[in-house]
Amino acid sequence: MREALGTQFSFRQGAIFMRFRQLDSITQLEPGKRLEGQRLLTGEDMYFRDHFPKFPVLPGALTTEAMVQASEWLMRKTDDFEHAGVWLTELKNVKFNGMVRPGQTLSVISEIKKWGDATATFVTKALADGEAVAAARMTLERFHCAERFPERVDADEWMGAMRLRQFEALDPERPGHYPAPTTYYRWVWIDRFDEFVSGKYCKARKTVCLGNEAVDLYAPYFGIYPPSLIIEGFAQAGGILASESSGFMKRVMLAKIGKATYHRIAGGGDTMQFHVELVDVGDDGAMVTATSTIDGEPHVDAELMFAYIPDGVVDSDFLSPQDKAAMCQLWRVYAVGTTEDGERLQRAKLFDTVDRSNPRVPRP
């Protein structure tokens, strides 16, 4: 299958770029067993501007995406690129043990735990300069696109050939090998809050735009929204909900994804409706349940755990009051927010200390 795909299509150099690529190279590969890959974080990617302005950290969703992509390439190589469609269907027990900073090398290892007729289960881990920072268990599904999407009869050939070229570009010994391209999308994965009830729940939305760089060429020809970014949307909504419950006095960081189940694909023009509920708040962190629907139909269900970062553990610039105020302004928290009793949500007192000359924090 691989040989057939490789001879049917030719692409200009720019066409093989996977702009959402989270690996520079595949360093070890045993089809049917394991794959190792890595990426050097240069700090040039635009998402570091938002995550976070004065304390750049690789988003946990992208660490997860790196583990997903390693597993996808292992599945494709084991399957000899027989199926053009490969899709994440479930995440389990995703744990984040540390931060990944610009200048570090992210190494990812994926191993096949179970291989089935249409699905496979993988155990994965990620390391930053040799130190463990994340681990996950996940299930991926492989399929023929024409069977799943009969209206796109040529998708198998087109996507299969594109994915093969992208895979070959990850070989560090191959002539013309190049690192993952710099990305220029901002790290904002909800468009707005529609409801926000302090200490209880929030509703938000995100519309899939084909002009978004993360969507463009993530899945060639299909315009699919990356599954990891749905988790990030949940994390952004849930993080604001958990942090606001403490008057934004606590720094909140995604610590674990208990489980995430994907029921369908989100494509161009779809509006994902998020419902995030704060189900537990403790001294060390908080837990939320999150769902996404599209046109009233189930899309994704997930459980997320957040940790409170104690003072002194990280730099004081990490999630500063200015950053939190900017997020609330951007997503209109105080325009729609209410208390549990239905009264209008009052601006956090912490924000009274914010320097209004900071261009990131517009006046209300």
Check residue 355 and give its pLDDT. Answer: 53
Superfamily of domain 188-364: Hotdog Thioesterase (3.10.129.10)
Q: What is the mean pLDDT of residues 281-303?
A: 97
Domains 1-187 and 188-364 share a fold: yes
Q: What is the mean pLDDT of residues 195-203?
A: 97
* pLDDT at residue 27 greater than cutoff 50: yes
DSSP 98: S
Check residue 316 and give its pLDDT. Answer: 65
Check residue 218 and give its pLDDT. Answer: 79
Global pTM reads 0.87
- 3-state DSSP assignment of residue 45: coil
Check residue 6 and give its pLDDT. Answer: 47
Domain ranges for the chain: 1-187, 188-364
Mean pLDDT rounded to a whole number for the chain: 87
* pLDDT at residue 104 greater than cutoff 50: yes
Closest by CA to 142, choosing from 165, 124, 117, 112, is 117
For domain 1-187, give the fold: Thiol Ester Dehydrase; Chain A (3.10.129)
**In the chain, which ranges are E strands?**
25-30, 34-40, 85-96, 105-115, 119-128, 131-143, 192-197, 201-207, 251-262, 271-281, 285-294, 297-309, 337-338
pLDDT, one tens digit per residue, over 50-99 is 888 888 999 999 999 999 999 999 999 999 999 999 999 999 999 999 99
